[in-house]
Amino acid sequence: MSVVGQGIDRTDGFLKVTGGATYSAEHGLARLAHALMVLSTIPSGKISSIDDIAARAMRGVLAIMTPQNAAQLPPQKRPPPGAMGNPRLSLLQDNNVQYNGQPIAVVVADTLEHAQDAARQLRVHYVPAKAVLGFGEAKKHLRTPASQPERPADTTRGNAAGNMAHASIKQDTLYTTPIENHNPMEPHATIAAWDGDMLTLYDSTQNVSGVRKTAAKTFGIAPEKVRVVCPFVGGGFGCKGNTWSHVMLAAMAAKMAGCPVKLAIERTQMFAPVGARPMTEQRLRLGAAKNGKLGAVLHDTVSSTSFVDDFTEPCSAVTRTLYNTDTLHTTQRLATMNLGVPTYMRAPGEASGSFALESALDELAYALKIDPVQLRLQNYAETDPEKHLPFSSKSLRECYEIGAQKFGWARRSAAPRSMRDGSTLIGYGMATATYPAHRSPAKASAIIHPDGSAVVRSGTHDLGTGTYTVMTQIAADALGLPVSKVRFELGDTDMPAAPVSGGSQTVASVGPAVYAAATAARTKLAAMALADEASPLHGLRIDDIVADNGWLMDRAKPQRREPMAAVIARHDGTPVQADSEAAPGEEKRQFSMHSFGAVFVEVHVDADLGTVRVPRVVATYGVGKLMNEKTGRSQLMGGIVWGIGMGLMEKTEFDWRYGRALNANLADYHVPVNADIGSIDITVLDEQDPHINVLGAKGIGEIGIVGVAAALANAVYHATGKRIRDLPITLDKLV
Ligand code: MOS
């Protein structure tokens, strides 16, 4: 491999900066109408009637779809509540309202403005019912989520409670994290077009195959009748992993209006019907010996969920694998509220769970007067303590070492409030990062054309992460072609199927399929040359042939060679194609697979005002082989920036009387901007993982955010002596 790993520029960069990249709402279709969702304004109850007479008479209105006239959809066999996957959708099949912001009608008009105008004229009458709102209220009726394979609600190893009683140091602390909403630059958007019984959806999604499946099920049609197209995504972060109501509503509206329909979600509508990170309350009990050895770990999580469907934020997953303790007890419970269904948000479980675990360890370090890094080393897991398997690779020790050294951790004076510069309190904090290395089966195809260029395809996605670029690199290396001669295409169910681009698994899943397809196409071409008397390579064995820069050559005598294009030319110019599938194998049962990292942060807290600034972050990761130095680093940096948002800013505020988000816009819902970010120093170790997949890549999509909020809380404590166990760490909590 020669191009893989290099920090080449994004292959789709030119299209993006010149406006040539077509996002979902931008596909131009003839007779395209505009649809707008109308959302409920009560959290619980029934719609008694919707008066649409005035709205229907308005200019440009093509259709108004409500529970009164929406097409009756075929009944569906639904997975039991709590089964992870696509949530139950609100498709106007009944009059029930289960949260504020639930889709209750769709207005279609010739222009967006006409649709907006008509939507305002709808008169919705409700019979409100009592809503369960607020965490305190919801916690009165806790439920245990249905256990999933590999995701039990509760786990036990050893006698944690018994060991706890005998520990020399006992710690019992409660951490809370708020509801957060996804705010990718590109909100959800769908264009739906019917051609007879054939449905095409241009949808901003992390899972074209998943959207196809949901549409086929929803409308009772064969999956082959649904095509989903998504060449560009302006950020996903988990909210586009599921198919939400608006996608199906767009298709229903298109059928009703008799023309293609565009439904682009407004920013405000990002705050209810399309998922959120649930709020959590996590109780962490740690028992330790004086030397810091953990004798008992108990992690009890309550996360919020909805009445529409369940979602469980798996906070204790991180606690089960990160440290070496053979006495552990974890539980997950659900508190149900009249809110929208929560969903995956970048590093679901790990981001929120590590805030509790890594804050608790920091508290323990102070109680024991042990350096926080030392405490983690004292409990270092050489093998997976939950699965009792070796790690496919783990460089966490090096991450701590290199991170601490680059950060200057040794300069930290141990006592809280002991480092300051005038009225600025200075704090150092650190935390561990980890995320599982997932992989799913994926398919790809590769075609070498007579001009010596190649097109490689897989129905995967580029969420802005660099999939186009990285897959081009992998294909170019495997084909023996320069990057400029390879075009990678993605985002279409007409292409070989790939899994959801979630769980940080795209490179690890699709990369091997692309590698296999490209290798197969190259091998096919080489075999054609060997069998061809006109080829200078005639008679060589297949293993003797290497491909480089568009040439096939004899490994032993590289002067003996010919251009790949020449082979095809002699074979009637017929393109050479290979299709491949790649899937995880035995290694999945033999190894525990995780990425690891260490995050060090410095905070400056204004002693009088409580404002927190983050002048620098130093982070080190072991993520296997990095496919592209530039896009990889960018992605990790994005995760850290979001971690700063999670630690210091992000929170969806609700009016708990009505269950409505109060800050449903980017002015009031704070995310970091450039001025909030100081220096971010990222080191990716040169980690070899021979087990994980043919590329040695473990995935980097989510690990960047993990640990950052805890590192910040720990640094804030170091600076101020105030332990904030409730995110985000805003100034009101510090003054
Ligand atoms: Mo991710 S939160 O699985 O996109």
In sequence order, what are the residues at sequence separation of 6 or more whose Cβ sits closer than 8 angstroms to the Cβ of residue 152? none
Q: What is the pLDDT of residues 17-56, one digit of tens each?
A: 999 999 999 999 999 999 999 999 999 999 999 999 999 9
Rounded distance between C-alpha atoms, residue 232 and residue 186, angstroms: 10
State the Cα–Cα distance between residues 422 and 467, nearest whole angstrom: 47
Q: Which residue has the tokens 């409700």?
A: 126
Kindly report, residue by residue over 585-622, the tens digit of the pLDDT: 999 999 999 999 999 999 999 999 999 999 999 999 99
Residue 427 beta carbon below 6 angstroms from any ligand 1 atom: no
For the CA of 237, the closest atom of ligand 1 is: 4
Of the candidates 260, 202, 264, the residue with the CA atom closest to the CA atom of residue 231: 202
Both tokens of residue 639?
């995760």
Angle formed at CA 93 by CA 92 and CA 96, multiple of 5 degrees: 80
Ligand 1 centre distance from Cα of residue 673 (Å) = 22
Nearest alpha carbon, ligand 1 atom 4: 238
Length of the chain: 735
Pocket mutation for ligand 1, best pick of 86, 346, 439 (most atoms within 8 Å of C-beta): 346
pLDDT at residue 1, as a whole number = 57
What backbone phi and psi angles, to 5 degrees, belong to 221?
-120, 165
Question: In this structure, which topology does domain 347-438+589-733 adopt according to CATH?
Answer: Aldehyde Oxidoreductase; domain 4 (3.30.365)
pLDDT interval class at 77 (50, 70, 90): confident
Helix (H) or strand (E) holding 18: none
C-alpha R_g of the chain: 27
Q: Which ligand 1 atom lies nearest to the CA of residue 347?
A: 2
| Residue 83 in this model has a pLDDT that exceeds 60 | no
Order of strands, sheet of 96-97, starting from the edge strand that comes earlier in the sequence? 96-97, 45-51, 123-128
The pLDDT of residue 80 is 63
Q: From residue 36, give the alpha-carbon distance in Å to each of 17, 219, 256, 268.
A: 29, 21, 14, 12
DSSP state of 170: E
- pLDDT higher than threshold 70 for residue 339: yes
Q: Quick check: CB of 202 below 6 Å from ligand 1?
A: no
Question: How many angstroms from the chain centroid is the CA of residue 504?
Answer: 6
pLDDT at 436: 97
pLDDT band of 84, cuts 50, 70, 90: low
The strand pairing partners of 581, in sequence order, are 443
Nearest atom in ligand 1 to the alpha carbon of residue 463 is: 4
Residue 79 has pLDDT above 90, yes or no: no
Contact between 655 and 662 (Cβ < 8 Å) = yes
pLDDT, one tens digit per residue, over 361-378 is: 999 999 999 999 999 999
Which amino acid is residue 89, in one-letter code?
A: L
Question: In the predicted model, is pLDDT for residue 81 greater than 70?
Answer: no
Q: Is 340 left (phi over 0), alpha (psi -120 to 50) or beta?
A: beta
CA 520 to mean position of chain CA atoms: 31
Among 166, 432, 158, 156, CA closest to 288: 166
* Helices and strands (DSSP H and E) totals, the chain: 17, 31
11 CA distance to ligand 1 middle (Å):
23
User: Tens digits of per-residue pLDDT, 290-317?
Assistant: 999 999 999 999 999 999 999 999 999 9
- Kindly give the distance from the C-alpha atom of residue 438 to the centroid of ligand 1, in angstroms, as a whole number: 11
Give the residue range(s) of CATH 3.30.365.10 domains in the chain: 347-438+589-733, 441-583
Note the pLDDT of residue 106.
98
Residue range(s) occupied by CATH 3.90.1170.50 in the chain: 18-130+185-235+240-271
Binned at pLDDT 50, 70 and 90, residue 86 comes out as confident
381 Cα: distance to centroid of ligand 1 (angstroms):
26
Q: What is the CATH number of domain 18-130+185-235+240-271?
A: 3.90.1170.50
* Residue 117 pLDDT > 90: yes
**Beta pairing partners, 269:** none
499 lines ligand 1 (CB under 6 A): no
Residue 150's pLDDT is what?
73
How many Å lie between the centroid of ligand 1 and the Cα of residue 705? 12
Comparing C-alpha atoms, which of 146, 140, 141, 100 is closest to residue 124? 100
Q: What is the pLDDT of residues 613-666, one digit of tens each?
A: 999 999 999 999 999 999 999 999 999 999 999 999 999 999 999 999 999 999
Q: How would residue 380 be classed by pLDDT, with cut points 50, 70 and 90?
A: very high
Please identify, by atom number, the ligand 1 atom nearest to the C-alpha of residue 206: 4
Does residue 502 line the site of ligand 1, with CB under 6 A? Answer: yes
Q: Encoding tokens for residue 218?
A: 């929803």
Give 152-191 pLDDT, tens digit per residue.
899 999 999 899 999 999 999 999 999 999 999 999 999 9
346 Cβ inside 6 Å of ligand 1: yes
pLDDT mean across residues, the chain: 96
31 alpha carbon, distance to own chain's centre:
35
C-beta of residue 723 within 8 angstroms of C-beta of residue 717: yes
**pLDDT reported for residue 193:** 98
CA of 460 to the centre of ligand 1 (A): 14
Residue 46 to residue 96: CA distance in whole angstroms: 5
Closest CA to 87 of 357, 337, 312, 358: 312
pLDDT digits (tens, 9 = 90+) for 575-586: 999 999 999 999
Q: Is the CB of 503 under 6 A from ligand 1?
A: yes
Atom of ligand 1 nearest to the CA of 236: 4
pLDDT for the residue numbered 87: 85
Q: Which of 204, 311, 465, 702 to mutate to test the pocket of ligand 1 (most atoms within 8 A of CB)?
A: 702
Architecture category of domain 441-583 in CATH: 2-Layer Sandwich (3.30)
Cα atoms in the 13 Å half-sphere on the side-chain side of 238? 23
DSSP-based three-state secondary structure for 358: helix
Is the C-alpha dihedral spanning 423, 424, 426, 431 positive or negative? positive
DSSP state of 81: T
What pTM value is reported for the model? 0.97
Percent of the chain residues past pLDDT 90, beyond the cut: 96
- The band of 151, judged by pLDDT with boundaries at 50, 70 and 90, is confident
Question: Across-strand partners of 231?
Answer: none
494-503, pLDDT tens digit by residue?
Answer: 999 999 999 9
Q: Does 457 have pLDDT greater than 60?
A: yes
Annotated active-site residue 150? The verdict is no
How close are the terminal C-alpha atoms of the chain, in Å?
Answer: 55
366 with 344: CB under 8 angstroms?
no
| pLDDT tens per residue, range 264-296 | 999 999 999 999 999 999 999 999 999 999 999
pLDDT tens track for 226-247: 999 999 999 999 999 999 999 9
Our answer on whether the CB atom of 345 is closer than 6 Å to any ligand 1 atom is: yes
pLDDT over 70 for what percent of the chain? 99
Distance 306 CA to ligand 1 centre (A): 19
38 alpha carbon, distance to own chain's centre: 28
Q: Which numbered atom of ligand 1 lies nearest the CA of 241?
A: 4
Among candidate residues 350, 358, 363, 702, the one labeled active-site is 702
Whether residue 344 has its Cβ less than 6 Å from ligand 1: yes
State the distance from the centre of ligand 1 to the C-alpha of 711, rounded, in angstroms: 22
